[in-house]
Amino acid sequence: MRSERALREDMWSELIDRDLDLLLDGKQPHNTDLAPLRSFVNMLGSFGATELSPGFPEDHAADGAAMARARLSDTPMRLSTGRRLAFGLRRRVTAAATSLMMIVGMTGVAWAADSAVPGDWNYGLDRALESVGIGAGGTEERLQELIVVRENGHVRGVSIASGSGADSVASSDDPVVGLEKAAATAVATTRGSQRAIDIGGAVSKLLAYLADTEKAHGPTISELAKEFKQAQGSSESNRPEVNPGEDNRPDHAGKPASPGNR
Amino acid sequence: MTLGHSFESVMEAAKLGADWAWAVLYGEIAGPVTGFFRSRGVADPEEAAGDVFFELARGLMSFEGNEDSFYTFVFVIAYKRLLVENRYSNRKLRTVLADRVLDRLHDDAEVMGVIAEHQVPEEVRLALEILTPEQRDVLSLRIVGGLSIDQVAEVLNRGVKKVKAVQRRGMARVRSQLPAETVLA
């Protein structure tokens, strides 16, 4: 049973909370001792009313509308600004990841992931790589994925793909963490084939290196690549053999292979 | 948000790609979102808000809910963006909040209006500086973002009681730095 003092404190807290709500709503709090806080509330509130640059947010509104239309049609989306790479961090991680991919011959992994559709083991990796600018990505790829998934009758995949907004929100906080999670997912879902396990393991190592570098602000990319190469041994041994559906490999990155080859 | 009954139709039109609808939505959230970043010391608040808009545009098709949910949805994105900024910035988390508020108080009494003629006490600066990051999060979302306690709890992924307690302690800290004579007319 709670003590009388605790109950009194709860009641006091409740009263203060109500008064604070009144204060934040611009009303007079019952407790006059809180009145001086109004100046603080007004000051802080004025941040939300400061003037924005001309054209802001109109330009962004136009982009948003364009993205929505692109999702509803086959028209490739054209943004007025390169917003996919808006985060400075993403640019850095992209540069690091791309350099490493080239040096250690891991591009096969990126390509294999790039042609994945929802439901494939490496789809998460595809999305993660896109989030840092590797792979085509974009609305066109999303639409192509949906078409393939729908034709395959892959209901869960359609659900995943159409929920890409929430997905992007979840992965937007940290590209490196997103990549790590994607690699973990890839590894966890590659129980079937040795090839897939090899790819998953290699990607996992690559991402661990990237993550460490980012966190530690340590070695340069070239040193990092050297280290990674040593750790990996021959880069060729990590190259994936043949991706399912290779015969139908698209002409350019971003278009998944045809539905029959998934 | 003040769209009220028109929110549903605006949202529907936005999902169909109507420019006007996106302009309405962004017009409603641009100020609070940019202000939120500004109050938390983000170096380029408009760029950060632009990132939020981009993520919002990507996620809007899957959004279902009312106006309050939408606002929460927006600030969940904004808060994640703030975390990215804080995590990877080499700068220390700055106290721009305190500096800017005090600059305004010192230099532009009209901004405050109600406290014109009052000498701004140094205690205000101290009050802002002693807030913990968590208290700044809560108070910025509540006051600049205009979110309710429940919405703030959702954005921060905390319990309502916890958010209330943080708000209470934060305000108590600020209050402790303010002299009684700052009481407004």
Per residue in B61-90, pLDDT (tens digit) is 889 999 999 999 999 999 999 988 877 654
Average pLDDT over residues A223-227: 50
Q: Distance between CA B25 and CA B71 in Å, rounded? A: 10
A163 in B contact zone (CB under 8 Å): yes
Percent of chain B at pLDDT exceeding 90: 35
Interface with chain B: mutation pick from A10, A39, A42, highest number of B CBs within 10 Å: A39
CA B78 to chain CA centroid, nearest Å? 9
Query: d(Cα B148, Cα B154) in Å, to the nearest integer?
Result: 10
User: Best-predicted range by mean pLDDT among A112-116, A244-248, B43-47?
Assistant: B43-47
> Is some CB atom of chain A closer than 8 A to the CB atom of B30?
yes
pLDDT at A222: 44
How far, CA to CA in Å, does A234 sit from each of A8, A229, B50, B57, B115? 71, 7, 43, 43, 71
- In whole angstroms, what is the distance from residue B11 CA to residue B21 CA? 7
The encoded tokens of residue B12 equal: 């529907």
Residues of B in contact with A35 (CB under 8 A): 183-184
- Give the mean model confidence (pLDDT) for residues B170-179: 81
- In angstroms, what CA-CA distances link B142 with A28, A73, A145, B36? 17, 39, 40, 10
Query: Is the predicted pLDDT of residue B157 greater than 90, yes or no?
Result: yes
Interface check for B87 against chain A (CB to CB < 8 A): the answer is yes
pLDDT at residue A179 is higher than 90: no
Question: Which residue from A104, A118, A121, A116 is spatially nearest to A231, judged by alpha carbons?
Answer: A104
Contacts of B30 (CB under 8 A, 6+ apart): A52, A56, A57, B49
Q: Considering only CA atoms, which of B52, B36, B68 is closest in space to residue B148? A: B68
pLDDT at B49: 92
The model's confidence at residue A249, banded by pLDDT at 50, 70 and 90, is very low
B126 touches chain A (CB under 8 A): no
- Give the residue among B182, B108, B96 at the shortest CA–CA distance from B140: B96
User: What is the identity of the amino acid at A177?
Assistant: V
A40–B contact, CB cutoff 8 A: yes
What is the model's pLDDT at position A250?
36
Do the chains contact at B59 and A165, CB–CB below 8 Å? yes
Q: Which of A170-174, A251-255, B167-171 has the lowest mean pLDDT?
A: A251-255
Q: Tell me if A39 and B114 make a contact (CB, 8 A cut-off).
A: yes
Query: What predicted TM-score, i.e. pTM, was given to this entire model?
Result: 0.52
Token pair of A261 as six digits:
């080859």
Contact status of B147 with chain A (Cβ, < 8 Å) = no
Is B31 in Cβ contact with A50 (below 8 Å)? Answer: yes
Q: Which member of A32, A65, A168 has the closest CB to residue B19?
A: A65
Q: Do A165 and B51 touch (CB under 8 A)?
A: no
- Does the beta carbon of B4 lie under 8 angstroms from any beta carbon of chain A? no
| Distance in angstroms (rounded) separating the CA atoms of residues B67 and A98 | 41
- Residue A106: closest CA among A129, A123, A137, A84: A129
| Cβ atoms of residues B120 and B105 within 8 Å | yes
Write down the pLDDT at residue B4: 82
Rounded to a whole number of angstroms, the distance from the CA of B15 to the nearest CA of chain A is 6
| Average pLDDT of chain A, as a whole number | 57
| Token pair recorded at residue A221 | 């990319």
When pLDDT is averaged across residues A78-89 and rounded to a whole number, the result is: 47
Q: Based on the number of CB atoms within 10 Å of its own CB, is B31 exposed (0-12), middle (13-18) or buried (19 or more)? A: buried
Closest-CA residue of chain B to A32: B183
Predicted-complex ipTM score: 0.73
pLDDT in tens, A91-144: 455 555 554 554 445 445 554 555 565 555 556 556 655 554 444 455 455 555
Tokens of residue A56, six digits:
């802001």
Q: Which of A46-50, A106-110, A113-117, B124-128 has the highest mean pLDDT?
A: A46-50
- Between B102 and B63, name the one with better pLDDT: B63
Banded pLDDT at A42 (limits 50, 70, 90)? confident
Residue B58 sits at the chain A interface (C-beta within 8 Å): yes
What is the pLDDT at residue B94? 47
Long-range Cβ pairs for the range A6-14 (8 Å, 24+): A13/B164, A13/B165, A13/B168
User: In whole angstroms, what is the distance from residue A30 CA to residue B26 CA?
Assistant: 36
With CB atoms and an 8 Å threshold, state whether A165 touches B62: yes
